[in-house]
Structure 1
Amino acid sequence: MKKFKSAIIATSIATLLSMGTAQSVSASQKVVDTMSSQLHLNYQIVDNDAANHGVDCAALGADWASCNKVTLTLKNTGPAITSNDWAIYFHNIRMILAVNNDQFKITHVTGDLHKLEPTEKFKNIPANAVVTIPITGEYWQISESDVMPRWYVTSSNAEPKVIANTDTDSDNLSAFVKPLGEQWKISPNDHNILMTPENRYQRNKDIQEINGELLKGQILPTPSKLTVGKETITLNENGVNLVLNNLSLESKSVLEKHFTELKIAVSSKGFNINASIDKNAFEKGVKGSYKLDITPQGATIVAFDESGIFYGVESILSVIDVKKPQVIPTLSAEDAPRFEYRGMMLDTGRNFKSKEAVLQLLDMMSKYKMNKFHFHLSDDEGWRIEIPDLPELTEFGSKRCHDLSETKCLLPQLGSGPYSNNSGSGYFTRNDYIEIVKYANARFIEVIPEIDMPAHARAAIMSMEVRYQRLMNSGQEQQANEYRLVDPTDTSNTTTVQFYNRQSYLNPCLDSSKKFVNKVISEIAKMHAEAKQPISTWHFGGDEAKNIHFGNGYQDINVAQKEAGKGLIDQSIEDHPWAKSQACQTFVQKGVVKNIEHLPSYFAVEVSKIIKNNGINRMQVWQDGVKFATNAKSFATDEVIVNFWDNLYWGGYDSVNEFANKGYKVIVSNPDYVYLDMPYEVNPKESGYYWAARFNDERKIFSFAPDNLPQNAETSFDRNGDVFTAKGTMDWPGAYGLSAQIWTENIRTDDKMAYMAYPRLLSVAERAWHKADWETNYQKDRQFQQGETHYVDQQKLFNDWNQFANLIGQRELAKLDAASINYRLPVPGAKIENGKLIANIVFPGLSIEYSIDKGNQWQRYQGPIAIKKGENVFIRSVSPNKQRTSRIEIVK
């Protein structure tokens, strides 16, 4: 009887507890539902030069004593919010240094994730009122895209919900981000020119429209030799007949698709295009070389190899005008690529990109003769490729959601919010990856996989911790430790560039780390073998394995002599990565490495052995990953290739020589010219990071001299819009290649990726394939500076660019339309002069439209238009297929 009574009592208590919990969750959920629907959030950047306006940024610990002020407002559109059981999580790419409202506090969680919550002084958020929260953040925020979407509310165990007006995947953040107004400068020393319609008009003023007949027969990228005939050939309904006996069926199928895309049929009765391989016809024997003759009797291609056939046919496709695709000019061309490596890097770790978007990118690369696809498959924020036997990498590491325990998913980052139904999450299955490699192979594109390490490895590390815990829970200790990537003794206090802690750095002193690397390389190598493109290059990553708090912009708060302009922090509590790992301390004690800071380069050497053992003879790496290695011969692979990514104006024009002279092959990858995640122009409405450049537009990239980096000081500016001086003080053996990069921190959608890539990628392809006659040869100790030296033939450069701009406007953009590419349409330049609207465009031939009734009716601009005094005029450009328009701006 006692047992029965005890059971009844226990059951009753459990019932009461569960009822209490249910009521608690219900109350918490009500708080979340109320706040997410009632609150209207606004983010206003108030001052990007707070250090000169009364804020002691140095005392707040800001890097280079630089900080900004933001006003955050919470407008309550309903009844008062009195509960203090809530938190608002948000993504912020700048560290929050101070909150100037004592009712609220902000805590950094990890990466860009922050938490806003009430303090003990919190009273309420009054009904139908606005609460203002002034905050101070590090550095500056000069673009609307700096602000991340999907701020979300949590409360106890309730389901989190996104604040409605912040819930977007697009770049249109106007629902909660106020216009920047005058806050578009990094500092008072920022001398860039804001791109208004008037300033843009001035920038475009020298560009002249070329008669279409004069563009006939021009090939992009530009061939080594070209003679255009006077005759033209008109194709009939049978189109072309591709007699490409040396080409695989897969590659021939690609070319057939490219013809049909331009509405040209492919049939045995069409205009003959014959191709053959004759290596003896080419004195230099460069892969991809071809000779092309188009006559009324047919087109003939003699190529050095299969890729030369492919490129020869692409050159025929290049001369076709979508407006009259049946007409092909007669011509003769001899051609060979400038660089062996003509590349594109795509980051899928920060924000995932669909397989379809990757395939589209590969297809466009092939049309412009680019041949290396650097596939960035992992980062702190996500692991993106399925690896057999390591399911946690994708089941956990590819997914982001609000799970503070991080047992189900990685914490949200970069605007992904609390859910896994957006580009913050996703991965390529094994079959997806094999399909991508096959697709690239048919287009003569080598896929170079990158698994970034030892830094930028948080997704892998946390995934293997989930695996470790799962196996430990089932008593399998040996298996649990097999692929573990952290040393449990490591208590190092470190901060990465993206504000992660020691969980971002894979431990290079563990055998389990090497075993993990071998497993991943061997499995991806199997995928390549199945795709019939064996891996010939493995990208190690290697970048940014450091603690940013030891950077030059900080100083120890305890030093007697303090320097002005540097942030004050307690560096005595800071560690280099792995400094307190017992495994790594043993390495230093035994002399395996000179010191802890040399561990990344040591690990690069160790991984090179694993790469070699997997039958791969080339290792590629971001250059800072090998900076402590003696030279390229320190590694096991036959070749070591570096992506050189120093900014030119900070000394990259000369430091590049150090790597070349140590035997590394150098791929020029400078962020201030060929990072396509930088903005197109200086304007807060243009998205993109800008730590390296305020703009990288098509003209700047086209004018880039990748094989003589000092020359660029004569044709461009530094980040502040100032001239700089450059001189190479060492020998330069020449670049191995040129690569553009797209990092995707604030590129959340496939369409945005296309917007950032095109048409800039055409300028990259031009410089990778063709050396222009205005590019000077490298000469040691020759100094360049804009306005002071005159080694570059500016007239040749302008003529070259003017033709290229006309080809884009009159021909290439229509081809991008035909391929369904969401490329960026440039905003026109315009001004009101003598009562008339005058407008121009960077790509002549592209239509300009204007409106004088707030955009209700648009008319095509065909010349100066009389405008009444006080009338607002709106301008935009329109795609050749009339389906899309540029951003709209007002001409004042």
Structure 2
Amino acid sequence: MRILSGSIASVVPLLLGLSSAHAEQTPQQLVDALSAISVKFQVLDNQAAEGGVDCSSLGADWGACNTVNLTLTNGDTEISSGGWALYFHSIRQILKLDSDQFKITHLTGDLHRLEPTEKFGGLPAGASISLPYTGEYWQLFDTDFMPRWYAVAEGAEPKVLAATDTEDLSAFLAPIDGDNWKRNNNDNNALMKAETRFEKNKRVSALDASTLRGQIIPSPLKLDVSAEDLDISNGLALSISDLSDATRSVVREQMAAAGLNFSGEGAPIMGRVDVDGFEGDLAKSGAYHLNITSEGVDVVGYDEAGLFYGLQSMLSVLPADGSLTLPHLSVEDAPRLAYRGAFLDVARNFHSKQAVLRLLDQMAAYKLNKFHFHLSDDEGWRIEVPGLPELTEVGSKRCHDLSETTCLLPQLGSGPFSDNFGSGHFARPDYIEILKYAKARHIEVIPEIDMPAHARAAVVSMEARYQRFMSEGNEEAANEFRLLDPTDTSNTTSVQFYGPRSYLNPCLDSSKRFVTKVVGEIAAMHAEAGTPLTTWHFGGDEAKNIYLGGGYQDLNDDLVPWKGTVDKSVQDKPWEKSQACQAMVDAGTVGDVDELSSYFATEVSKILKDKGIPIMQAWQDGLKHAASAADFATDTVRVNFWDTQYWGGFDSAQDWAAKGFEVILSNPDYLYLDMPYEVNPAERGYYWATRYSDEAKVFSFAPNNLPQNAETSVDRDGNFFTAKSDKPWPGATGISAQLWSETVRTDAQMDAMIFPRLLSVAERAWHRAAWEQDYEPGREYIGGETTHVDHDALRADWNHFANLVGKRELARLDRGGVSYRLPVPGATLADGKLKANTALPGLAIEYSTDGGSSWQTYDAATPPAVATPVHLRTKSPDGTRTSRVEILQ
């Protein structure tokens, strides 16, 4: 249902002086006419400060801004007067609009409003108007621009501008060209186009199939492969004990999906759990022995998880061509890290239950065992909580309701209606189904309800609840779970530009009651699913006011051009003016409001302890004011460590381990899968931490010797950095790959951002490579200078892995229905002949010499003679999908 607000008139005032033509239009006719306007963005200068724009005086964080030309082209109906507005999404704050006919107002988050002023001169049919503006930071990738503008007028239903109602961003964005792919003049990244990509792809080469035979991803501790094969064409005779019925069903389904059948006369598969024979590094959960001989398959697990993983390894060595044989081999294997995780954000944009189940399938196949489920944020609440219906009735929906009593305001390209990816939630049965599905695959689901910041969906929902009960005269019920202190007048802006409602108040008893209620109801779902809730993720990140950060200076300071100039006297820390919080400061409960996030974490840990939940997890900055893990009531406290390597993460991770926290490495420059695959504006993703993270870079991550990464990587600007730590480092408990969903609106986009990079994550979580060095306090790694790492061994290891992915694993992902990203080919001309390659050997490359009207398969053995331009793409093994098209000019 499309829900409209009766309060539109309060923010879209009707202006005087309407023409007679306009007066004859109904409001809906006006909106219909506005919806025919086409929009075109053209990035003019992404280094505007270096081009002479005074970004500092405009208040740009770190004095960085960009200039853009926005062109509106009218349809076939004249727009002659005011009384209307266009709403649009921009993740960059708009600092200045160079037009006296329009004004732009920021509402909250990324939602902006463009409306005519009294000087608006009209927009004739077919006419265009140029609106140059200055925005904060940079707009380096197409996905910085969001779809689904919409038109509004009083008394009419909003309508999306048709030209922007698309995931094809080129429909309203001109190519980001010239040097506008660069962040600044010190940006030494390489722009990935056909020729540069061709040179990069030369680092890999095709390996013979015999080299890949019997190889397993993730790599086992010990693997011996023999020349003989076991014929399984007559089917399999399963004799597997010590698996739950649910897990046994999963295994049978996996075998059937791989084309295997079951017959009492088939090759025997024996499986059991037996701890005998597991010693040393093998004596741990998930360990297994696998033997395939002429007698059949024998799998022994250290525990049920190990038995399951051994069967996954057996399935992984099935030939890619579909032949029903298994190579004779012997495996001894155990996981490197206890926590091998994948994180999915369904709050920023919702993703379907089917997409979640598909992800769990692949996590199981690659032996990942922790699913970190981000179920709430500023932009959405995604799980049903019995007794708090407003959380899903209001907080799970986005629509154009300026009062936010029926839904949250639109964000991130969702437009004015709640019938798309911007809205949605998991009903209680859905979540229980996900839990059971994960349990059968030996995956723990770790729910995250983010607090006390990133809590806007919860806060707005509980305000709707408050208003409902107050209207009924029930003040006690209204205040039971209220998350705002009505005395709090703090002027606070979150990192994503939300106001004070982005933070629940940690000083209220009602906030603790809310947490107790939510934890209890989610724990009950886990209990009903037969998988007790053992880990709760508190969130805790970014409880701050962005305008009090280091990138801004007060207008009364000695001003410098590399910081934004703002009036800090009107800015407050979160909860600074809350009477409830000030009372806690006055009583000495906390030393300052800065400490409230960590204080609230300790209070939540007590709730968890009371509920019998032994582990609390959080983003590390949410616990920064705690002296140690001993401050918390739970038996164990984990932190997702998300400092970037080049900004000191190679050293600061050790501090958390020294305080007794279990460290889950989640470094954004390697493990945030919402970052682009390569430096090219056509790629998807945010890039505050890195300009790219491809499969090879993730593969090169050394989780237990963080300084080593300085030798194998570069910083955000493509420059070398130096890393050294003198501190003790006991090693990480685990690593986790994160997909945040701000630019990821569809399930297919979700798949493409996660896969195939997640395979590299699985490799590093399970297997320590020979080129990874032991951590030595005091050893310095200098990018471009030191050679402590065996780079030849790293390249050879990656080449082997890339061949396995390209020649076998992508076909497996095809069979699993995964819409993974296909690498864009590289190409060049040599003596008039086309030379093309791909980052993952084995993929078919197609080329076109007629602008993409017809395609031919590229054969490297007989390169064709062509003239530029040539269009190129790769094709999936099942032939159903192709990569983004590259043009060799």
Instruction: Give the conservation status (yes or no) of the 8 Å contact 1:96–1:135.
Output: yes
Deviation string, structure 1 residues 847-888 (Cα, Å, up to 9, x no partner): 111111222222211126666674421111111111111111
For 1:470 and 1:478, locate their aligned partners in 2 and report how far apart those are by CA, in whole Å.
Answer: 12
Partner Cα distance (1:391, 1:457) in 2: 17
The answer (yes or no) to whether the contact 2:141–2:680 under 8 Å persists in 1 is yes
3-state secondary structure, aligned to 2:171? coil
C-alpha distance in structure 2 between counterparts of 1:360 and 1:51, whole Å: 45
Aligned counterpart, 1:520: 518
**What is the aligned counterpart of 2:306 among 308, 313, 318?**
308
Does residue 251 of structure 2 align to residue 255 of structure 1?
Answer: yes
SS at 1:534 equivalent:
coil
Rounded Cα–Cα distance in structure 2 between residues aligned with 1:609 and 1:695: 40
CA distance in structure 2 between the aligned counterparts of 1:317 and 1:407, rounded to whole angstroms = 52
Residues 278, 303 of structure 1: 8 Å contact kept: yes
Change (3 A) 1:615 1:325: farther
Q: Which amino acid aligns with 1:242?
A: L
1:499 corresponds to which residue?
497
Alignment correspondent of 2:264: 268
**Alpha-carbon distance in 1 for matches of 2:124, 2:59:** 34
TM-superposition CA deviations, 1:222-263 (whole Å, max 9, x none): 00000001111121242x222211001110111111111111
Match of 2:738 among 727, 738, 741: 741
Residue number in structure 1 paired with 2:26:
27
Residue equivalent to 1:115? 113
Q: Do the aligned residues in 2 keep the contact of 1:28 with 1:85 (CA within 8 Å)? A: no
Which residue of structure 2 lines up, in the alignment, with residue 615 of structure 1?
A: 612
Structure-to-structure mapping, 1:51-70, within 5 angstroms: 51-70=49-68
Residue 648 (structure 1) aligned with residue 648 (structure 2): no
Q: Which residue of 2 aligns with 1:49?
A: 47
Q: Which runs of 5+ in 2 are unaligned?
A: 1-21
Give 1:269 shift.
Answer: 2.8
Q: Verify the 8 A CA contact 1:264 1:325 in the aligned structure 2.
A: no
Q: Which residue of 2 aligns with 1:783?
A: 780
CA contact (8 A) 1:645 1:668 kept: yes
1:206 Cα offset (Å): 2.3
* Range with bigger deviation, 527-536 or 847-856: 847-856
Shift of 1:188: 1.2
Q: 2:350 is matched with which residue?
A: 352
> Quick check: 2:234–2:267 contact (8 Å CA) kept in 1?
no
Gap regions ≥5 residues in structure 1: 1-22
| Residues 36 and 163, structure 1, Cα contact 8 Å, conserved in 2 | yes
Q: Does the residue aligned with 1:281 lie in a helix, a strand or coil?
A: coil
Write the distance in 1 (CA, Å) between the matches of 2:69 and 2:407: 32
Tell me the equivalent position of 2:19: none
Equivalent in the alignment of 2:5: none
Mapping of residues 502-581 of structure 1, within 5 Å: 502-559=500-557, 561-581=558-578
CA distances 1:601-628 after superposition (whole Å, capped 9, x unpaired): 0000000000111100100000001000
Paired residues for 1:405-804 under 5 Å: 405-559=403-557, 561-804=558-801
Contact 1:339–1:769 (CA under 8 A) maintained in structure 2 = yes
With normalisation by structure 1, the TM-score equals: 0.96
**Which portions of structure 1, spanning 4 or more consecutive aligned residues, are displaced by more than 6 angstroms?**
23-26
- When residues 222 and 265 of structure 1 are mapped into structure 2, their CA distance, relative to the original with a 3 A threshold, is same
Q: Give the aligned residue type for 1:178.
A: A
**Offset at 1:41?**
1.0
2:274 is aligned, of 252, 255, 278, to 278
Please identify, of 655-664 and 320-329, the stretch whose mean Cα deviation from structure 2 is larger.
320-329
- 1:335 corresponds in structure 2 to 333
Q: Structure 1: how far apart are the matches of 2:628 and 2:203?
A: 47
Given that residues 61 and 552 in structure 2 are in contact (C-alpha distance below 8 angstroms), is that contact kept between their aligned partners in structure 1? Answer: yes
**Cα offsets for 1:482-510 (capped at 9, x unmatched):** 00000000000011011001100000000
Show the 5 A alignment for 1:55-454.
Answer: 55-168=53-166, 170=167, 172-182=168-178, 183-238=180-235, 240-284=236-280, 285-454=283-452
In structure 2, the residue matched to 1:14 is none
Contact 1:25 1:156 in 2 (8 A): no
Distance in 2 of aligned mates of 1:25 and 1:370: 63
How far apart are the structure 1 equivalents of 2:540 and 2:264? 52
CA-to-aligned-CA distance 1:45-87 (integer Å, 9 cap, x gap): 1110111222110000000110000111111132421120110
- The amino acid that maps onto 1:458 is R
SS at structure 2 position matched to 1:256: helix
Bigger mean CA offset, 28-37 vs 429-438: 28-37
Give the match for residue 857 of structure 1: 854
Total equivalences in the alignment: 865
CA distance in 2, matches of 1:461, 1:362: 31
Contact 1:68 1:139 in 2 (8 A): yes
CA contact (8 A) 1:262 1:322 kept: no
Q: Distance in 1 between matches of 2:158 and 2:491?
A: 30
Q: SS of 1:108's equivalent?
A: strand
Specify the code of the residue in structure 1 equivalent to 2:240.
Answer: L
Structure 1 counterpart of 2:224, one-letter code: T
Mapped contact 2:834–2:866 kept (Cα < 8 A)? no
Alpha-carbon distance between aligned partners in 2 of 1:348 and 1:25, rounded to the nearest angstrom: 45
Letter in structure 1 aligned against 2:147: P
- Aligned-partner SS, 1:522: helix
Contact 1:677 1:744 in 2 (8 A): yes
Find the aligned partners of 1:615 and 1:242 in 2 and give their Cα distance.
39
1:127 Cα offset (Å): 2.8
AA in 1 matched with 2:659: K
Q: Given residue 275 of structure 2, which amino acid in structure 1 is its aligned partner?
A: K
Which AA in structure 1 matches 2:738? Q
- 1: CA distance, partners of 2:410 / 2:561: 36
- Among candidates 804, 818, 821, match of residue 821 of structure 1: 818
Counterpart for residue 846 of structure 1? 843
Kindly indicate whether the alpha-carbon contact (under 8 Å) linking 1:77 and 1:128 is maintained by their aligned counterparts in 2.
yes
C-alpha deviation, 1:566, in angstroms: 0.6
Question: In the superposition, relative to structure 1, how do residues 122 and 630 fare at CA in structure 2: closer, same or farther (>3 Å)?
Answer: same
* Aligned residue in 1 for 2:14: none
* Paired letter, 2:345: D
Taking a change above 3 Å as real, the CA distance of residues 803 and 867 of structure 1, as seen in their structure-2 partners, is closer
Once residues 511 and 184 of structure 1 are traced to their aligned partners in structure 2, the CA distance between those partners, rounded to angstroms, is 49
Aligned residue number for residue 10 of structure 1? none
| Structure-2 change in CA distance of 1:261 and 1:866 (3 Å) | closer
1:280 shift after superposition = 2.7
Is the Cα–Cα contact under 8 Å of residues 291 and 334 in structure 1 kept in the other structure? yes
Structure-2 separation of matches of 1:546 and 1:236: 62
Instruction: Answer whether contact 2:33 2:75 (CA < 8 A) is retained.
Output: no
Letter in 1 for 2:822: L
- Structure 2 distance, partners of 1:128, 1:348, is 40
* Rounded Cα–Cα distance in structure 2 between residues aligned with 1:342 and 1:298: 31
SS state at 1:279 partner: coil
Q: 1:420 corresponds to which letter in structure 2?
A: S
Query: Is the deviation greater in 242-251 or in 753-762?
Result: 242-251
RMSD: 1.2
SS in 1 for 2:737: strand
Contact 1:836 1:865 (8 Å CA) reproduced: no
- Which segment drifts farther, 785-794 or 148-157? 785-794
| Distance in 2 (alpha carbons) for counterparts of 1:587 and 1:269 | 74
